[in-house]
Structure 1
Amino acid sequence: MAWATSCAYMSEKKRTSLFRYWTTRYLIILCIGLFVIGIASSYWISYSETQKRLDFMRLMAAEVADRVVDMEGKVKMAPFLFRIVDSRQESLGVNYKPMMMILDEHKQPVFGVPGPFSSELKRLAPDLVEANDSLSQFELARGDEVLFVKESIKVDERVVGWVMLFTPQKQLIRSMTEFQLLAIMLLGLGLLGWLVIYLLTKKLSQPIKDVADAAKQIVMGNYEIQLDKNKREQEVYELIHSFEEMAERLKQLEMMRTELLAGVTHELKTPVTSISGLVQAVREEVVSGEEAKEFLDICTKETTRLIKMVEDLLDFNSFAVGDIRIRRQPQNMQELIREITHQWRILQEEEKLSLHIESTPDPIMIDTDPLRVQQIMYNLLNNAAQAMESEGRIVVSLSASAEEIRIDVKDNGRGIPIEEQSLIFERFYRGEDKKHIVRGLGLGLSFSRMIAQALGGILILTESTASGSTFTLILRK
């Protein structure tokens, strides 16, 4: 138990806001991506700069090789050689000067520019002459990398010497401004990317935070929430709109729950109080004879009404949890409707009600549960009778198509107000006019719709005006 509590605490502790969660993770992904791009770009820049420097050195080596041979075919340093090198350096926009070494035909240095590696380069020169022409880089004894280019000095196809150019690799890295530009670019992209996700995540998380705050208000019982619905994003707008509809729905259900508690208490208390008072009067012999018998008859009616209310609650609870038993059997719907309406008419005490049945001459057969159909029809007929206040006309119409059967129950009563039509199938809902006239729990229509759905059909309010209402039971064949 303690371990579960500790895990729950740790899980709660690790939670963070949507804004912080996504901005942090995006920043991590952005940094990793930019780091990979930076590494790849660095390698490419280094490779490109190396090739560019080697090309420049090959060009210089070729030009020097053409200038250092005298008329007799011997290697001789021209006095203007350095001016040529400097001129090529300026024309190509190169800001570095490689170290140069010239060897004679015996592989002995005849010229060398002083540098940090000049002594070791003179020692390695004969070996470098014999090396493969593809060699462009080698490592000195102390670990320094050096770029290397050699060019043969030829006279009449005879090699009379070599020109060698060297550049330290670290000097190449120090001289590249591309790395600085790359760093600035990556830093700028990182800041821009973080700023973009910061603003977008903040804009996205704000309405979600508002909805979460509104949900907390609903938990505390405050259903009067105000959310900004002027959102251009379709999903955010639908979220806010749906949440407001849910809040309004919860508000209505809360009002219905309050009314239900008061209504059920009143409806159950009234017959109990009446029974208690009447039985007390008979017991104490306040009344006797025929009057006492009349009091007991009233007690019997009130007891029957009380039992009916309790049965409605139990039946509705059974249906609500899915415990609906359907026993289907072949039925002729014309005969079934005639039998149901006939039985209902016998139970009615009002003689001013007229009941008519409209149907096709051909038999309409369907597999259904006649008892459940009877429950639905009784509820619809009772509601129609209550709407007409014991005087009026009820028409039951039966029709069929290839796939379904329609049973319409139409009355010419006072109708249902427009603002109440969307709520009439809610459990425990009773209209403002009806709750003051008819005693009950407001489960009839909700119970009937659940039965219709269990039968594979649906119960709907087809029409309701000041001149009457029409309910339709649709059953699939």
Structure 2
Amino acid sequence: MFKKNKRISLLQYWTSRYLLTLFIGLAIISLISAAWIRHTTFENRLELMEFLADETVYRLTDTTNPNNGPINGIPGFIGDRQRFNMKEIDPILYVVDTEGNILTSNRPVPPGSAKNVAGLLDGKEGTKEIKDGLEPEYVVKRKIENNHELLGWALVMEKKGNLTRVNQAYGQLAILIGALALLGWIAIYFLSKRLAHPIKQVAEAAKHVQEGNYAIDLPQYSKEKEIYELVSSFKNMANKLEQLEKTRTELLAGVTHELKTPVTSISGLLQAVRDGVVTGQDAMEFIEMAMVETTKMKTMVGDLLAFNHFAVDAIPVQIESVDVNQLLREAVAQWEVMQEDEHVKVHLHLLEKPVLVQIDIVRIQQIITNLLTNAKQAMDKGTITLRLIDHGEALSVMVKDTGHGIPLEDQSFIFERFYRGENKKYTVRGLGLGLPLSKMMAQSVGGDLRLIESNPSGTHFELVLQKATTL
């Protein structure tokens, strides 16, 4: 048993995945931002500690201030603890002599701190991390000198945890990331909804088309290029299917009518002969007319079979090299022999030199015959001009008549199978396979058949043939 996959809506599918991607991205940004905030905060607070140490040294060695005296007069200056309190941190400030004895500090000295402070003196200024205790600390050391004489040291100490604590900044970052996530989700939801809506409309329209209803209502304009192309292509497809459905209906009616007519004629003619309504020479003429109708019916059935075979590439072609001038002369001569009137004249314009083409002679003659027959049906009298044009690797047989032309609304459908224009539907018998079959035959030998132009003054077709590689 195959497990049926559960289908979810496009809106839910893309919203959930966009949202997951957004959250992952924001989480990565949050981690990077938190690390950056922690690092910059740590650097800034170390700079504050260094500033405090430098300021202390400056005030203790400033001889212009009468309140400042020798190093043993510092307690009054340091005693004002609030002066050195900082908003984010509250470091310990020690002023020690050259031996490491604590002279004063900005807070009570814990027991045993004197020994630890003395151990920090190594004769070098700078900032150093201390890992001796339970929690790492940072110490900033500055020399206190007077006239190049070392009087003592100013030490500023703070725990590493206090230097990197940024709870308020983390809270602000969390609010910012949360707001971005909410805005991102809203934007993704509405964008996905905007994308899903026309697709859903197309899906609904497809159901209507499946049921045979081609009158679909889809949005005419869309800012998104892909959505516009999807809707336009679907509407064109629906129109095409509607036209094909009409053509199929007309085909059934047309084939029924076209085959019924000769069958009825044959039946009536033979019944007249059988019942003795006509005898002698008249009976023979009736039989001949029945044979003509039989030939017409065989031709129509043959067209249907030939078209079906070409449609599935079931008919092989015999390619050979032929002089195109000779081919055209013979095809026109054969067609003219079959014509009963001389109201239509054919003018040939051949190439100056013999040129070989790679073709199937029978198929190309069929195409030429069909084009000439169509041209004759389009006019009571006039001329048909066939002109050969050499293009180098290929050449064209241009077939132009002086008939009434093909209506503009029919021109895009003339190569559709079983399509018959309004002008021919009730005046000329046939199945509407002549031009589609001719185009297939031309393409089967590497060429093509195209409508160049058609208007009330005439129609112009082009048959493209491939030239032979050698003479």
Q: What residue number does 1:450 align with?
A: 440
- Is structure 2 residue 419 aligned with structure 1 residue 429? yes
Q: What residue number does 1:216 align with?
A: 207
Deviations 1:74-100 (A, max 9, x none): 6454223233x64455xxx74432123
Could you list the runs of 5+ residues in structure 1 that have no partner in the other structure? none
Distance of 2:13 and 2:209 partners within structure 1: 26
Q: What residue number does 2:49 align with?
A: 57
Q: Secondary structure at the match of 1:442?
A: coil
Residues 1:280 and 1:147: Cα distance change in structure 2 (over 3 Å): farther
- Is structure 2 residue 65 aligned with structure 1 residue 44? no
Q: Is the 8 A contact 1:103 1:161 kept in 2?
A: yes
Q: What residue number does 1:319 align with?
A: 310
Deviations 1:126-175 (A, max 9, x none): 43335986653334644x34333233445665655443333233334445
Instruction: Give the 5 Å matches for 1:227-376.
Output: 227-276=218-267, 278-279=269-270, 289-348=280-339, 350-360=340-350, 362-367=352-357, 368-376=359-367
Q: What residue number does 1:128 align with?
A: 120
Instruction: Give the 5 Å matches for 1:357-436.
Output: 357-360=347-350, 362-367=352-357, 368-388=359-379, 391-403=380-392, 404-436=394-426
1:442: Cα distance to partner? 0.5
Residues 1:430 and 1:121: Cα distance change in structure 2 (over 3 Å): farther
Normalised TM-score (structure 2): 0.84
Distance of 2:355 and 2:296 partners within structure 1: 36
1:228: Cα distance to partner? 2.2
Could you list the runs of 5+ residues in structure 2 that have no partner in the other structure? 62-66
Q: Is the 8 A contact 2:53 2:155 kept in 1?
A: yes
Distance of 2:124 and 2:8 partners within structure 1: 64
Distance of 2:68 and 2:461 partners within structure 1: 121
Q: Secondary structure at the match of 2:76?
A: coil
Distance of 1:472 and 1:112 partners within structure 2: 106
Distance of 2:332 and 2:23 partners within structure 1: 78
Q: What residue number does 1:20 align with?
A: 12
- Is structure 2 residue 185 aligned with structure 1 residue 194? yes
Q: What residue number does 2:453 align with?
A: 463
Q: What residue number does 1:82 align with?
A: 79
Distance of 1:71 and 1:225 partners within structure 2: 94
Distance of 1:121 and 1:429 partners within structure 2: 106
Residues 1:441 and 1:175: Cα distance change in structure 2 (over 3 Å): closer
1:104: Cα distance to partner? 4.3
2:216 to 225, 228, 236: 225
* Letter aligned with residue 470 of structure 1: H
Q: Secondary structure at the match of 2:23?
A: helix
Q: Is the 8 A contact 1:326 1:454 kept in 2?
A: yes
- Greater displacement, 74-83 / 250-259: 74-83
- RMSD of aligned residue pairs (Cα, Å): 3.4
1:121: Cα distance to partner? 4.8
Q: Is the 8 A contact 1:104 1:162 kept in 2?
A: yes
Deviations 1:346-373 (A, max 9, x none): 223x324333223247244222332122
- Is structure 2 residue 161 aligned with structure 1 residue 164? no
Paired residues in the alignment total 460
1:379: Cα distance to partner? 0.7
Identity rate, percent: 40
Residues 1:72 and 1:174: Cα distance change in structure 2 (over 3 Å): closer
Normalised TM-score (structure 1): 0.83
Distance of 1:361 and 1:66 partners within structure 2: 109
Q: Secondary structure at the match of 1:41?
A: helix
Q: Secondary structure at the match of 2:223?
A: coil
- Greater displacement, 293-302 / 331-340: 293-302
Q: Secondary structure at the match of 1:178?
A: helix
1:414: Cα distance to partner? 3.5
Q: Secondary structure at the match of 1:330?
A: strand
Distance of 1:145 and 1:277 partners within structure 2: 118
Q: Is the 8 A contact 1:75 1:160 kept in 2?
A: no
1:275: Cα distance to partner? 3.9
1:253: Cα distance to partner? 1.2
Distance of 1:321 and 1:132 partners within structure 2: 95
Q: Is the 8 A contact 1:330 1:365 kept in 2?
A: no
